[in-house]
Amino acid sequence: MSVVKINVLTVPEPMREELERRFAGRAGLVEEADGFEGFELLRPVEGTDRYLVYTRWRSEEDFQRWTESRAFAEGHAQAASERGAAEGHGHGHGGPAASGAELWSFEVVEQAEPKG
């Protein structure tokens, strides 16, 4: 069965819009990765400052291959470059939008799809 990786990002209120802008403009390279099954950015609605970056993979090996790939490095380098450009041109905020991050890992043991 699939595996789920959830990157938990602590994002202060003033940086929420910036984080969402960066994700909206991301390179999108993960969609081409072998074994990639889905991505969601989840915004907190009450009682927390933690965003969840949810990705689903066919296997742990597929996820590991992605994190070791050139595309992964390029996507993260593009994000860093955009932060630098924003810093130099007065658009957005430079530096990281999140003040902390942790990675949660899960195996999917049961799932359901809509009927019909």
Chain segment 1-20, per-residue pLDDT in tens: 899 999 999 999 999 999 99
pLDDT of 93 reads 56
Q: Is 65 helix (H, G, I), strand (E, B) or coil?
A: helix
pLDDT of 81 reads 57
Q: Is the pLDDT of residue 51 over 80?
A: yes
Q: Which of 30, 6, 11 is nearest to 21 (CA)?
A: 11
Confidence band for 88, pLDDT divided at 50, 70 and 90? very low
- Provide CATH code, domain 3-106: 3.30.70.100
% of the chain surpassing 70 pLDDT: 84
pLDDT of 64 reads 96
Domain extents for the chain?
Answer: 3-106
Q: Is the pLDDT of residue 29 over 90?
A: no
Paired tokens of 9: 């990002």
pTM of structure: 0.80
Half-sphere exposure at residue 85, Cβ-oriented, CA atoms within 13 angstroms: 7
